[in-house]
Amino acid sequence: MASSASGSAIMAAGITMPDTGGQKICHFRQPFLSNTLHPINYSNLQCRSNTKNSFSSVVKAQAVTVEQTAAQVAPKTEAPVVIVTGASRGIGKAISLALGKAGCKVLVNYSRSSKEAEEVCKEIEACGGQALSFGGDVSKGQDVEAMIKTAVDAWGTVDVLINNAGITRDGLLMRMTTKQWQEVIDLNLTGVYLCTQAAAKIMMKKKKGKIINIASVVGLVGNFGQANYSAAKAGVIGLTKTVAKEYASRNINVNAVAPGFIASDMTAKLGDDNEKKILGQIPFGRYGQPEEVAGLVEFLAINPASNYITGQVLTIDGGMVM
């Protein structure tokens, strides 16, 4: 399953992104913490004038030991549980890696690219994180429910949802088939609705959660040959604002990130003429990088400074739309 924002990166090129599928769960290990705090034994300490300095040193050493032991057994904040859809490549992969390396437990969703999803999981685990992969089509309610259940069964909850999965089926409206239209609407818009509704049920119970939808600048300004994609992404923006209002009383933040042209395997194949035309529309004169989008998503997902942000659409496009 391709990243929806990667589709926006090549909107002028009319290139479609393949769906991806299968299911694989990565194993992970829990860290071990000692629960025993040993009391200090002062019975052997003697206060003599000629051993005053020695006594002081012993007490200081014991105090340091107590502090270190207390730090080991002090309760730690539980790592956030994150679901990223369309996470086997592109922006979705970059988001999964960023959050995994930041200490989150990440469910890597994919449609067909099981091998790529497995590699994302391994990379997260190599950095000391926890990850598992799940193959499923987020445009199907049954798959979405199974995906949420997988995360809850493994880690007990869902703290953050990143709706990234998406496809393109480009063509001028006069030639666009109903199938091309519906496939994009089903995955890029209905999929966001289904995942948001399912994850929000869990977030509502604990009155806490973050939902970040990957939209596109195309949803703001439109684009030739992408009536279906533009409509879906505009719908995601409207959905984001409405859900933000409905769930604000439950302390759930809902925001959208709208990437512009983001570097991918497909942008590398556009050719010099097409690339020159695209870069001419961007004040910064370059493509964005998936890691730059991932950094913004990471901020919205787990940085406390984002807790007062909701219902917003944050463009990351090198100044193309302003």
Annotated binding site for NADP(+): 86-89, 164, 229-233, 262
The residue annotated as part of the active site, out of 110, 229, 247, 287, is 229
DSSP sequence for 120-164: HHHHHHHTT-EEEEEE--TTSHHHHHHHHHHHHHHHS---EEEE-
CB-neighbour burial class of residue 295 (10 A; exposed 0-12, middle 13-18, buried 19+): middle
Binding-site residues: 86-89, 164, 229-233, 262
Residue 229 catalytic?
A: yes
CA–CA separation, 175 and 163 (whole Å): 29
Exposure on the CB side of residue 283, measured as CA atoms within 13 A: 7
The per-residue DSSP string of 231-262 comes to HHHHHHHHHHHHHHHHHGGGTEEEEEEEE-SB
* Residue listed under structure tokens 């666009």: 176
- Residue pair 96/118 in contact (Cβ under 8 Å)? The answer is no
Q: How far apart are CA 206 and CA 188, in angstroms?
A: 28
**3-state class (DSSP) for residue 23:** coil
Tell me the catalytic residues: 229
